[in-house]
Structure formats: structure tokens, C-alpha cells
Amino acid sequence: MRVIRLLLIFTLALPLAAAAEIHLPNLLSDHAVLQRDRPVRIWGSGNPGENVTIRFHGQTLTAQTDPIGNWEAWLKPEAAGGPYTLTISGDSTTTAIERKDILVGDVWVASGQSNMEFPLTGFTGANPAPMKDSEKEIAAANHPRIRLLIQKKATSTVPLTEASDTWTECTPETASHFSAVAYFFGREISEREKVPVGLIDTTWGGTPAHSWISPDGLADANLTSVFEDAATIARDQGRADQIRANYAREDAAAQAAGKPLPSHPRVPTDHGGAWTPGTLFNAMIAPYTRFTIKGAIWYQGETDSDAKRAPYYLRVFSTLISDWRNQWGEGNFPFFLVQISSFNSPAPGWPVVRDAQRRTLFMRNTGMAVTLDVGTPNNVHPPDKQTVGNRLALAALATVYGEKIEYSSPEFLQATTEPNAMRVWFTHAEGLTTRGQEVGGFELAGDDHKFMPATAKIEKIGGSDTVLVSSPQISFPRFVRYDWSGVVTTFLYNKADLPAGTFTSE
């Protein structure tokens, strides 16, 4: 019996000993990209008090695990290059851990809802949305210097520490289900800058911005609108859970009686927890905040065009940007966004969200890709993701990589009053043109804030391209706005063929 007990103790102890050996997170897998020109954190776990040795491209570092077995060390900044091998060993390691084919380059996080999630294959199923030149783009997606990581959809009530998957090389097979916008952005950066690029796709269609903000960030910003929304979401989710439970009981009863399973209507307002404030940050962003990055690209806002969310989007979205920067602890890293496109939306807040997105450009190191001219009125998922990725890349190439190119759409600067008219001034508006169309999309309002359609014309004043806006219905105009509708059919381009986005001077 004593021998049996000893064998049992030894057998039970084996998994515990194995689990305590040196462990590396998924982010530090084969094929990973480490951020160039910055200190890079390397971390993991092991036995408490264990000595750990890290070797990478001529660097040798040592660390010791803390009382609960966690350890970390920082690589000195490395120039772009590779492939290299990352080697980790510890007191308990019988064979050193090796992570091979590691590149040093630029790491970008791509996040948002379905237009960022939209893969190179496009969307299929009940509501199909094809991608422009999908088969051609997939076939050409062989880029050894680009690496991809897709975070699986998940929610959590607490911040998680582990990414859901590991890095892969960019091949037609791995790229086909990857974010098309992120892929085109990364391809442009890699080809123009001759640098390895790592892309992290962490997206979930149909989700509001508040789900992607950390609980601490939400609390610090005191976002009353989000907390009120959360109560409604919790109530609706509770109802959805109850309906699902009823369906399960009906299915079980039918199965027990040998009858066919009954058909059930779609569960209403069931977001699977993805709308609960903070849950997507906890599961899909928090695991990456220890990983050194170059910046982030973001395409979201359609869900927040709801009448009760749109008025607060500027505050919510600017909170998200600040929160991510705080969570990563890398300063005001570059954050580039896509202004939601032209679409025949039933939601009244579609242009409100667009204008809120424009207003976030007051934050440092931000940029915006305007996509009004590539939208599709009857499909919220435009097929032309190449243009979107390219315009995001232009912002990065100019402001991050220092290329001397025009990178921004015409941006509203101010509106000044003239007799019976208003003059709109822009930045980035050299060569302002409508490409042969009438100048359209402008409206004027007086002190009553009631907007009326207006006529407009492009005029050069003192070397600046401006737009003079007038309306016989508004004798004393005070406010002007542009493309304030879901579907947009008139566009103002600068000399770089970048269109002006929705704005209001209110």
C-alpha cells in the first residue's frame, strides 16, 4: 500500500512539475515580429525563484521569477532584420526553449468591427459581401516579411494575459481569412519602407466602441452614457439568456420524445456578452498590452450610429484612444482610424459619428482615412478595401515614416461669415476639385440651427482653396455642414485624390 501511495503521489506530481517549467506566451511564438528600435519586453512563467536566461541576436539577459513564478526582461532596441532565434532556459529546463524565424520590424494592431474584420475572402452566408479582386489578391499574398496573428473572438469579465493564437507567415492560406484592410495597410508599409511588418487582427463585427475600452478606462472617464447603456444591455442579455434556456428545454423535451427538434426564432438582442462594456478589451486587447507595438489602426463606428450612442461617440472614442495608450505605456503611439463610409443607414447618427471621428484628430499622433467615395449605399461592407488600407498607410507613411507625401483628405479648419454666405477654409486642400461635378453636399443654418440645402463654389483666396456657401433661405448664416447624410454622392478632392469627409461647424 505504501508503494502504491508513493506511486500515486509521484504520478499526480508529474503534471504540476511539467506545468512549472519555463513557459512563453503565444505572442512569442515562431514567426513573431518584435518591434524595432524600441526596448522589447520578453516575459513568461516558471518555478518561483527560478533563474532564467534569455538569448536573442547576440544579447544575453537574465531574470528571476517572482514568488508566483512570473518573470520578464527587456531586450535592448534592435534594428529591423532577421530571421533570428529566441532561446530561453531556466533552472528547471532540461532542453532550452527555442522560438525560430523571429523578425524585427514594425508591429501594428488592427481592431474594430466588421469592416476591419472583413477578410480577403469577403463575407459569405446570408448577407454576402464580396471583396474587390479577392481571388487575385489572395493568390498574390506571399509575403515572407509580413507576419499575421488572428485573435479569436472572446469576452471576459477580467483582463486576460494570453493571446488566443500564434504568429504565422503571410501566405495565400493564412491571409485569406485575415483582415483585408490590415493586410493592405501592412503590405504597403512593408513594401514602401522595406521593413518586416507584424499585423495583429483583433476584431468583432457589430460591436460598440465601449466594449473595447478597459474597465479602468471607463471608470476614469466617468462615461455616464456608457453606464446607462450597460444597464439596458444587461437587461436585454438577461432576456436573451432566458429565451435560449427555454429553447434548450424545448429541444431536450422533443429529443426525449423522439420528435424532430422545433424551429426557433432568432434570439433578439443577443450579443453574446460582446456589447458589455470592457469585455472585448479584457479578452481581445489586454493580452497584447505587454507586447511592444508601433501603433494601431481602427475601423468601427457603425454600431454607435444608434441615436442614443452617436451624440456621445466623440467622448467614448477619444477615451478609447487615451485608454489604449495608457494600457500599453508607450506614450502617444500612432493611432489611425477610418471614417465610416457612405451607406443608406436607418440610424440617424451616421453623419454624427463621422463628424465625431473627425474631431478626434485633435489628439496627438492620430490620422483619418476618409472613405465616403468608396461606399456602397446598399451594403454596409464596401468591397474596395484596397483604397481603405492605402489611405491608412498614407497617413502612416507621412507622419510615422517621414515620407514627403500628401496623406490627408481636406480637413475642415474654420468657417467665416460674409454677406449672405459663409466661407469654408481647409487644411490639406491644395488643388480642391469636384472632378467635374457640381459642388454639392453643403448646408447652411442660422442661429436657429435649422439647416437648409445650399449652393457652393470653389474659390482661391490668398493662395488657399476655399468653398463659398450660400442659400437664399438663410439670410444670416452662422453654421455650415457638409455631406450630412448616410449616402453621399458628391465629393471634394485635393490634388492627392483624397476626398473631404463629413463635418459640421456647430
Identify the band that residue 17 occupies on the pLDDT scale cut at 50, 70 and 90. Answer: very low
Residue 439 resides in a domain: yes
Residues 498, 432: Cα–Cα separation, whole Å: 10
pLDDT in tens, 30-42: 999 999 999 999 9
Residue of higher predicted confidence among 498 and 12 = 498
Query: Residue 474: which domain range?
Result: 411-504
Identify the band that residue 4 occupies on the pLDDT scale cut at 50, 70 and 90. Answer: very low
State which amino acid sits at residue 475.
Answer: S
- Output the pLDDT for position 236: 67
Pairing of strands 295-299, 335-339: parallel
Using an 8 Å Cβ cutoff, are 179 and 390 in contact? no
125 Cβ contact partners less than 8 Å away, ≥ 6 residues apart: none
- Output the pLDDT for position 173: 98
Indicate whether 3 pLDDT > 70. no
Residues 41, 34: Cα–Cα separation, whole Å: 9
State which amino acid sits at residue 257.
Answer: A
Residues 506, 504: Cα–Cα separation, whole Å: 5
Residue 141 resides in a domain: no
In this structure, what C-alpha cell is assigned to residue 241?
Answer: 439568456
- Output the pLDDT for position 8: 40
On average, the pLDDT of the chain sits at: 93
Average pLDDT for 298-306? 97
Residue 166 resides in a domain: no
Indicate whether 9 pLDDT > 80. no
> What is each CA distance from 390 to 11, 232, 248, 414, 495, in whole angstroms?
57, 39, 47, 28, 16
434 Cβ contact partners less than 8 Å away, ≥ 6 residues apart: 440, 458, 490, 491, 492, 493
Label residues 450-467 b or e (16+ Cβ within 10 Å = b). ebeebebeeeeeeeebbb
Q: What angle do CA 204, 215, 332 make, to 5 degrees?
A: 80
pLDDT in tens, 418-429: 999 999 999 999
Whose CA is closest to 339, among 395, 287, 378?
A: 395
Residue 24 resides in a domain: no
Burial class (CB in 10 A: 0-12, 13-18, 19+), 149: buried
Average pLDDT for 11-16? 39
pTM: 0.91
- Output the pLDDT for position 5: 44
Residue 456 resides in a domain: yes
- For the chain, how many structural domains are there in total? 1
Residue 459 resides in a domain: yes
Average pLDDT for 343-357? 96
Using an 8 Å Cβ cutoff, are 287 and 162 in contact? yes
Indicate whether 18 pLDDT > 60. no
% of the chain with per-residue pLDDT over 70:
94
- Output the pLDDT for position 270: 65
Residue 491 resides in a domain: yes
pLDDT in tens, 69-90: 999 999 999 999 999 999 999 9
Residue 473 resides in a domain: yes
In this structure, what C-alpha cell is assigned to residue 405?
Answer: 507625401
